[in-house]
Structure 1
Amino acid sequence: MTDARFEDGGEGPLRLVAQDAEDLKVVSTLVQDAVLPVTELKHDARHRRFALLLNRFRWEDREEADRVGRAYERVRSLLVVEDVCKVQSFGFDRADKDLVLSILSLDFAAGEDGTGRLTLTLAGDGAIALEVEALEVRLDDVTRPYRAPSGKAPRHD
């Protein structure tokens, strides 16, 4: 048996699961600069699930787009966190239905016995903190990629 290679992935949709801090770094990189309206934050307390429907920049395709001179792409993706015990938001008004959020990073601070706090850091000093019983984060692309409206790759100076 051999390990999977990046080249074997082709152009299929991403379907990833993060269950530890190392896995989460990969997901965090892929959702950096994803944007979503505040109305696309959903907490299902009964099923202990928090979900975000976001428009993520396809970082995994950036080098290929540069190489062949093709437009940058975004894709609609579902980011789902399981086993959520508590949700807090800071630095933004969840009641502002016109607000658009931008994700900067995902970080996990482990607690005892697998519990911990997952923090979604947002542009503009906002954050969403999720207390979880165990770390399980899924990232699933749910549409075909589309041309990034700005035509540019996000930059961080």
Structure 2
Amino acid sequence: MTLLKLLALDEEDLQVVSSHLQDAVVRVGDMVFLPSQKRFVAIVNRFDWESATGKDTKNYKRRRTGLRFDRVLSAKHKELRPEKPDRVLSLLAIQFEAGEAPSGTVTLTFSGGVIIQLEVECVEAELRDLGPSWVTRNKPDHPGDAAADTESSGASGA
């Protein structure tokens, strides 16, 4: 079992973290901003895209993963509904918009129009797998995936 651990110290690193967390699911109650520590943390169930080969559902896995942002000055949200801690969201992307270097805004975009914006002194994030994976029957689906699958299967048959 290989556990993933990534550090992000700039926008390019954060794009790598974002790609590994695409389609991670998270409960609203499993995310918290800790202002006294200048930290935002979340525990997510990330989809293991590296092992999701072909249509064999035995290769579809999820894994508990911690996500931490340090040097966070403030956190704002839109449509989060903190009063519903059991609400499950799907993480679509993490992006960084630079301000006065090295500061800026980290935006976490979720399904359902939910957005969390973190004002940061600089990019300092960590993704860390917390344990073994488990099999899931469902692979996240995106518009256009079927066309891509058809094209790639046609190309492999040539």
Question: Which TM-score applies when normalising by structure 1?
Answer: 0.86
| Bigger proportion of residues as helix | 2
SS in 2 for 1:29: helix
Percent identity, aligned pairs only, is 36
Where does structure 1 lack aligned partners over 5 or more consecutive residues?
Answer: 1-10
1-structure distance, mates of 2:111, 2:46: 14
Higher Rg of the two aligned structures: 2
Q: Which residue among 133, 141, 145 is the counterpart of 1:155?
A: 141
SS in 1 for 2:141: coil
Show the counterpart of 1:132: 120
Structure 1 moving runs of 4+ over 4 Å: none
Show the counterpart of 2:24: 34
Structure 1 residues 123 and 46 mapped into 2: Cα distance closer, same or farther (>3 Å)? same
Show the counterpart of 1:119: 107
Show the counterpart of 2:151: none
Provide the aligned C-alpha RMSD in A. 1.4
- Tell me the number of residue pairs that the alignment of Structure 1 and Structure 2 aligns: 143
The question of 1:50 aligning with 2:36 is answered no
Q: Deviations over 1:34-82 (max 9, x none)?
A: 111111011111110100000000012112xx38773310000000001
Where does structure 2 lack aligned partners over 5 or more consecutive residues?
Answer: 144-158
SS in 2 for 1:24: helix
> What amino acid sits opposite 1:118 in the alignment?
V
Question: Which TM-score applies when normalising by structure 2?
Answer: 0.86
2-structure distance, mates of 1:17, 1:75: 18
